[in-house]
Amino acid sequence: MLFDDNNFDYNFFNLANFNLTDPILTMNDDKLVSSKEGFLRGNMFKNEYVPYKNMTYKQLVSQNEKEELLFKVMEMNFAVNDLNLYLDIHPEDRMMYEKFKEYTNKLIAYKDEYAKKYGPLCLEETDSDNYNWYKNPWPWDNQGGSMYV
């Protein structure tokens, strides 16, 4: 038997027992950059970013509403993945988990909006009446020229 119920302290897992001044448990938005900036620079954490040779990242400029919505999907996807990596190491950080859930909900909403307006981004997006996955152009295709440029 792994746990002896008579000696196991179930209250240990109650957040009220944690020291809420512990920096890991109080991680909040002031430790993060915006999801847009995090996506552009490749890191959501203010104190973890070191630019390569003092270079800066380039701002993305969307050409139309479709591209703007695709950028939002990519931005939220990056934020969810970066926070997922953090939470793998710090699963007890409730504040960061709440931020993770917020970004996850935004990602789902942006993907749903994109799929309704422009077609599915992923194979499992099957809300329409017809099978649309095979239709071109793909979201990542360059409609103005060769699809590989």
- What is the structure's pLDDT at 102? 96
The domain segmentation of the chain, as residue ranges, is: 66-121+137-142
pLDDT per position as a tens digit, 74-121: 999 999 999 999 999 999 999 999 999 999 999 999 999 998 888 888
CB atoms within 10 A of CB 110: 20
φ, ψ for residue 32, nearest 5 deg:
-110, 150
Query: Phi then psi for 50, rounded to 5 degrees?
Result: -125, 115
Measured between alpha carbons, how far apart are the two ends of the chain, in Å?
60
pLDDT in tens, 48-73: 888 888 888 888 888 899 999 999 99
Please name the residue that has the structure tokens 């360059």: 142
Reported residue count of the chain is: 149
Taking a C-beta distance cutoff of 8 angstroms, is the pair 70, 139 a contact? yes
